[in-house]
Amino acid sequence: MSKPRFEDFFELFGLPRAFRIDDGVLAARYRELAAQVHPDRFAHLGEADRRAAVSYASDVNEAYRTLGSTLARAQYLLHLAGQDAALESNTAMDTSFLMEQMEWREAVSEARAAQDVDELDHLRLRLHDRMDLGLDQLGDEIDDQRDYAAAADSVRRLMFLDKLGREIDAALEQLDT
């Protein structure tokens, strides 16, 4: 029974349940809450207090991790809306996106094979632009249209792009050393 009594991470941070949130407010709230519940404040107290602090602080950290990342935030909102993003099993995507995926993959592996740092940098910028577009759209789908099925689709695409971004970063790092 030592679980905190808040509805969801948004309520914990005193924020409206939405995709578009103010990062500055989120960070400020996090600091306040973390300072309030950090086990260091309870180090000299009894075990009950220390346990409650560890549990609460873990939730606050997890909440910040979830709300602080756009993709994790979107997935969390879909989960709250009862929309199963089913990220692994539901890979039915439209053909245009499958084509786009293939093009991206090809471009990245060619640049990597050629050890072309400039091209990889360029791809990374293009990818980030593409992701920004996708995130804007995701905001519309979740906050305005409340079309969670479409949003789940967008999340899956963005996750692919995110993964690709990390692969480009890894390739760049390898060429760097």
Partner 1 sequence: MALLQIAEPGMSTAPHQHRLAVGIDLGTTNSLVATVRNGVPVVLLDEQGRALLPSVVRYAADGKIEVGQTAQAVQARDARNTIVSVKRFMGRGLRDVAHVETMPYDFVASDGMVRLRTVQGVKSPVEISAEILKVLKSRAEASLGGEMAGVVITVPAYFDDAQRQATKDAATLAGLNVYRLLNEPTAAAIAYGLDNAAEGVYAVYDLGGGTFDFSILRLSRGVFEVLATSGDAQLGGDDFDQRVYCWMLDHARISLPSLEDSRRMLAKAREIKESLTYRDEANMLLQLTNRDRIDLMLTREELAGMTRHLVAKTMQPVKKALRDASLKREDVKGVVMVGGATRMPHVQHAVAEFFGMEPLNNLDPDKVVALGAAIQANVLAGNRKTDEDWLLLDVIPLSLGLETMGGLVERVIPRNSTIPAARAQEFTTYKDGQTAMSFHVVQGERELVSDCRSLARFELRGIPPMVAGAARIRVTFQVDADGLLAVSAREQSSGVEAKIEVKPSYGLGQDEIARMLRDGFDHASDDLQARALSEQRVEAGRLIDATEVALAADGDLLSDAERAAVDATVSRLRDLAQGADHCAIKAGVEELNRATTEFAARRMDKSVRQALAGRSVDSLKV
- 5 vs 163, beta carbon nearer partner 1: 5
Distance (Å) of CA 72 to CA 66, 98, 122, 140: 5, 23, 26, 17
For the bound state, the minimum distance from the C-beta of residue 172 to partner 1, rounded and expressed in Å, comes to 11
**Distance set, CA 96 to CA 4, 102, 109 (Å):** 45, 10, 20
In whole angstroms, what is the distance from residue 131 CA to residue 129 CA?
5
| CB 17 to partner 1: min, Å | 14
Backbone conformation region of residue 88, classed left if phi is above 0, alpha if psi is from -120 to 50, else beta: alpha
Q: Interaction with partner 1 in 48-87: which residues (CB under 8 A)?
A: 48-49, 51-59, 61-62, 64-65
Give whichever of 24 and 82 is closer to partner 1, judged by the CB atom.
Answer: 24
Binding residue for partner 1 (CB under 8 A) from 7, 88, 118, 176? 176
Smallest separation, CB 99 to partner 1 (Å): 29
Q: How many other C-beta atoms can be found within 10 angstroms of the C-beta atom of residue 67? A: 23
Residue selected from 7, 46, 88, 113 as contacting partner 1 according to rule CB under 8 A:
46
The residue type of 2 is S
Query: What is the rounded distance in angstroms from the CA atom of residue 161 to the CA atom of residue 103?
Result: 12
Binding mask 20-39 for partner 1 (x = CB under 8 A): --x--x--xx-xxxxxxxxx
Contact residues for partner 1 (CB under 8 A)? 1-5, 12-15, 22, 25, 28-29, 31-41, 43-49, 51-59, 61-62, 64-65, 173, 176-177
